[in-house]
Amino acid sequence: MLVVIKWFDIIGEDHNPWSTLEEIKALKPAPITTIGKVVEDNDDFLTVVSSWDESSDTFGNINVIPKGVVREICKISLDSSD
C-alpha cells in the first residue's frame, strides 16, 4: 500500500549551550511528510520505505514512525494508465 503520512518529528536544541525560557517555549515539533510503501503496520508503529527493488526483497530510504506522532495517513491510488 502506498501512502502519504503527515507526522511530527522530535527536534532538539544543542547548538547553543544556554537558552532562554522564551527560546525554549518557541521550539515546536517539526511537521514531516513521508511518501512511500508500508511494509509494516502494527499497533505501535508504521514502517515505510520510499525506494525498493522490484526484482528482490531489498528496500531503501526506511522510516519507522511511531503511531503516536502520526497526524494523517492518505492512501495513494495509482492509475495504471499513467
Write the secondary structure of 13-36 as one string of H (helix), E (strand) and C (coil).
Answer: CCCCCCCCHHHHHHCCCEEEEEEE
Residue 82 resides in a domain = no
pTM of the predicted model over 0.85: no
* Structure confidence at residue 27 (pLDDT): 94
Domains contained in the chain, number? 1
pLDDT level of residue 78 (50, 70, 90 thresholds): confident
Residue 65, domain member (yes or no): yes
- Residue 81 placed within a domain: no
pLDDT in tens, 39-74: 999 999 999 999 999 999 999 999 999 999 999 999
Q: Which domain holds residue 58?
A: 2-75
